[in-house]
Structure 1
């Protein structure tokens, strides 16, 4: 490596992309292409950065696997920032293995951090945790060290573990303050604000109160029968009944939980679950069928009793019933929670994160755009979406997460 390339690399490590470009801007050799790509990424020109890194990786070829793997990691980081989540998942694992095999501990650790961050974004928390545990954090350059702690905090927040989340955020704050890079400090501060914001509302016996993440954790551990409208499940202690794929059943149990300890009339249940303004005998027959299905689903947790006017939810063991709601209820709330991170998302990445079809996401984005809550720019595969308005802070309970196993 010649002196100009070495000096340019040193400038990039110090956060001086213009200084790096002054040294290699007119060069077309593989190392210069890669450094120019990283410099353009730091300056925010991601399309140009992506093209330069692609050319650099192609020029290095199979004869220089370490340099090529570094280019792939840089491309994956750009894709991650651009919220094009499929590409990092294809390349990071292979690039990380090559770097580790050839003794490049720093870049291998950085690739592992990026992989864990991508897995966190799409809600694969167990896999993200395993990758994070395998990272050699001491090998990371100082500017990257807050990152793994932010990922660890994100995992804990989505698992509703307030203590580990706070501890990880404290470590991230300490690391960011030591480095004193304004953009990094701001990113950590946003994560702390999200942790300290209300995570949910709890509705019990007609009264509501806001809960922080630690309060939600305490409610879930209390033995209360919780109908969780953030994740569409019913939970009592360690027993969980997921109803995310059964929207009619969840609408019924939500209405029953909201009215508890009272009952709910058949007409109101029909309106909530089937949006039936005028019920006929076919609607009542379907309600009986769906109540039977709900009774079977909730068998380990609660009973459903018919009353003179409707139905009553009765938890087993005399537990209290609580309805857990987002702090601000919005249509397409989970989509807004993802967009609220301030990055520009592709519709395919949103579909991957939420586990739904691309067409479902596209319809929801069009509805949000019509309501003035989301904006898009670019065309075709380059189209990206951002949130225009987000009510308060998006709760981590709305972000993708694996369901707890009962």
Structure 2
């Protein structure tokens, strides 16, 4: 009972809305979910509005685009800024701009009927319906490997292949990140070969278990 009480009184996520951010308790997250706000939920890798959800797990580019657009709303985001952050390059060329148009088109298809995406002179902006608010729900902590650490913080043992599937990354990329985190003593593993599993103790002071999706098969 003491652990449950602690879970309900520590930050469960960060709310980013109209250029500001603050931490939310679990009760506040539930209130947000019950509202009419369009939420880019990075904790569960989806976009949601009330009971309607649009899964983006395994689509990291679309999720990153959605977050940037939601963070900037009601302002737009320049094409160069989107390309730099999502494609991780500062030197945008015609191929990057063409790929951005393709990915924005895919995001439009996923969000059709929920929120529009309008092209502006310098980039793109979300176009929600009248009176609709837009927000981002992000993990309590941020950083290079924040999403991976948040998944591992659910207390379950994950395989590198399950992590790769959940994060939308290659298994080799995930393996390198895990090895780096292991050297920093932030994760631990057991087993060998395909039976190897990774985990870490829950992050002190943060509630992640109740926000994260259930482990995928093989995790």
TM bucket (normalised to shorter chain) is 0.7 to 0.9
Q: 1:284 to 1:378 in 2, by over 3 A?
A: closer
In the alignment, which of 270, 284, 287 is matched to residue 83 of structure 2? 270
Deviations 1:268-317 (A, max 9, x none): 01112111211111111111111111111111111111111111101123
Over the aligned positions, Cα root-mean-square deviation in angstroms equals 3.1
Q: Report if the CA contact (8 A) 2:41-2:47 is conserved.
A: yes
5+ residue gaps, structure 2: none
Q: Is the Cα contact below 8 Å between 2:58 and 2:165 reproduced in 1?
A: no
**Which residue does 2:183 correspond to in 1?**
370
d(CA) in 1 for partners of 2:99, 2:171:
31
Q: CA distance change for structure 1 residues 292 and 385 in 2, over 3 Å: closer, same or farther?
A: closer
Correspondences of 1:251-290 after superposition (within 5 Å): 251-290=64-103
CA contact (8 A) 1:353 1:400 kept: no
Structure 2 contact 187–200 (Cα < 8 Å) conserved: yes
Rounded to whole Å, the distance in 1 between the matches of 2:190 and 2:88 is 36
Change (3 A) 1:315 1:389: same
Deviation per CA, 1:242-275: give whole Å up to 9, x if none: 1112111111111111111101011001112111
Q: Greater strand percent: which structure? A: 2
Offset at residue 351 of structure 1 (A): 5.2
Question: Higher helix proportion, which one?
Answer: 1
1:169-208 correspondence runs (5 A): 173=1, 189-208=2-21
**TM-score, scaled to structure 1:** 0.46
Counterpart CA distance in 2 for 1:245 and 1:377 is 26
Matched residue pairs, number?
A: 212
How far residue 233 of structure 1 moved from its aligned partner, in angstroms, is: 0.9
Residue in 1 aligned with 2:41?
228
Q: What CA distance in whole angstroms lies between the structure 1 residues aligned with 2:81 and 2:7?
A: 36
Distance of aligned partners of 1:309 and 1:201 in 2 relative to their CA distance in 1, 3 Å threshold: same
Displacement, 1:222?
Answer: 1.0
Matched, 1:303 2:122: no
Work out which structure has the larger RCO, using CA pairs closer than 8 Å and 6 or more positions apart in sequence.
2
Structure of larger gyration radius = 1
User: Deviations 1:26-54 (Å, cap 9, x if unpaired)?
Assistant: xxxxxxxxxxxxxxxxxxxxxxxxxxxxx
Q: Secondary structure at the match of 1:196?
A: coil
* Superposed CA offset, 1:62-97 (max 9, x none): xxxxxxxxxxxxxxxxxxxxxxxxxxxxxxxxxxxx
> How much has 1:383 moved relative to structure 2?
6.1
2:201 & 2:33 partners in 1: Cα distance? 33
CA distance, structure 1, for counterparts of residue 12 and residue 138 of structure 2: 9
TM-score, structure 2 length as denominator?
Answer: 0.81
Cα deviations by residue, 1:307-343 (Å, 9 ceiling, x for unpaired): 1111110112330111111111244445434554678
In structure 1, the gaps of 5 or more residues are 1-172, 174-188
1:217 aligns with 2:23: no
CA distance in 2, matches of 1:226, 1:342: 26
| Structure 1: distance between partners of 2:162 and 2:106 | 30
Please point out which of 205, 214, 217 is paired with 1:401. Answer: 214
